[in-house]
Amino acid sequence: MCGVVLQSLLRNPLADPYLLGISAGASTGAVLVAILGFGAGAISMSVGAFAGAVAAFSLVALLAHSSRGTTASVQIILAGIAGSQLFNALTSFMITKSASSEQARGIMFWLLGNLSGVRWHSVWLAVPTVLAGLLVCLWYRRALDAFTFGSDSAASLGIAVRRAQIILIATAALVTAVMVSIVGSIGFVGLVIPHAVRMLVGVRHARLVPLSALSGALFLIAADILSRTMIKGQALPIGVITALIGAPVFALILVRGNSTR
């Protein structure tokens, strides 16, 4: 769902929370809250993750806006990679300097994506957040359709462009932050799923948004099952599975994008 929103707003097929640094920023915020002892509960971790996600996207947007010499679609991805590296480095620094060895092991496994530690109180936070985000995206479904053709096209249709952009980006950041605080940073789901669903149902966001949310959940469940059964007696982080699937798709999108120029 978040990948659909970001790809529409930025008009970039490679946009997703992982590549734009939003997930990395959310991880940094959540780890900071846990290490500083502000609480390891779902709500406190989510608040820290949301602050980190907003900070990361703000930095990425600033870097992309300030860069010169490349197209806008390339600028935002390069800025996202830089932002991801920065926040990943900050997270690693905090873990190295402040976390105990046991805490560090738990955090590192969580950062790669892990559903085994999810409890019902986390589910009760995640479900309303995702449903609220879904409703917001559906409310702005026509705006998302218009943003596919650019902000000028959206403005010509009477859409309050700035307000819609702020609300939709904040929604994507909030949903990403809550999910990262619960299951860790799981890459490429927001990249792979929107493209797969778009091939099946088209580009209208009234169908694309809810089906992407549902397909993303089913994909994550399948990845979790695979991570628990691929190696006998050992559970892999889910992020390993999604990266093995997502990286080739990422390369395919790049190749297709170059071939259409």
Q: Collapsing DSSP states into helix, strand and coil, what is residue 234? A: strand
Both structure tokens of 46: 């989510």
The set of long-range contacts for 70-77, using a CB threshold of 8 Å and a minimum separation of 24, is 73/10, 73/11, 73/12, 73/14, 76/10, 76/12, 76/15, 76/20, 77/12, 77/14, 77/15, 77/19, 77/20
Residues 229-250 as b or e (16 or more Cβ within 10 Å = b)? eeeeeeebbbbbbbbebbeeeb
From the list 237, 238, 177, 243, the residue with the least C-alpha distance to 32 is 177
pTM of full prediction above 0.95: no
Q: How large is the angle between the packed helices 205-229 and 238-259, nearest 10 degrees?
A: 130
Tens-level pLDDT at each residue, the chain (261 residues): 899 999 999 888 888 998 899 999 999 999 998 888 776 567 888 999 999 999 999 999 898 888 665 556 778 888 999 999 999 999 989 888 876 777 788 788 788 887 877 787 888 889 999 999 999 999 999 999 999 888 888 898 889 999 999 999 999 999 999 999 888 888 888 888 998 899 899 999 999 999 999 999 999 989 888 888 888 878 788 888 888 888 888 788 777 755 554
Note the residue count of the chain: 261
- The DSSP letter of residue 150 is -
Q: What is the residue whose two structure tokens read 């120029």?
A: 261
Contact of 52 with 28, CB cutoff 8 Å: yes
The fold of 2-259 is ABC transporter involved in vitamin B12 uptake, BtuC (1.10.3470)
* Backbone dihedral angles phi then psi of residue 63, each to the nearest 5 degrees: -65, -45
At 70 the pLDDT is: 56
pLDDT of 116 reads 75
Q: Is 231 helix (H, G, I), strand (E, B) or coil?
A: strand
- The C-alpha atoms of residue 158 and residue 144 are separated, in whole angstroms, by 13
Contact of 4 with 148, CB cutoff 8 Å: no
Taking the C-alpha atoms of residue 80 and residue 27, their distance in angstroms, rounded to an integer, is 15
Determine the number of helices (DSSP H) and then strands (DSSP E) in the chain: 12, 0
DSSP secondary structure, 54-119, as one string: HHHHHHHHHHHHH--SS-HHHHHHHHHHHHHHHHHHHHHHHHHHHS-HHHHHHHHHHHT--STT--
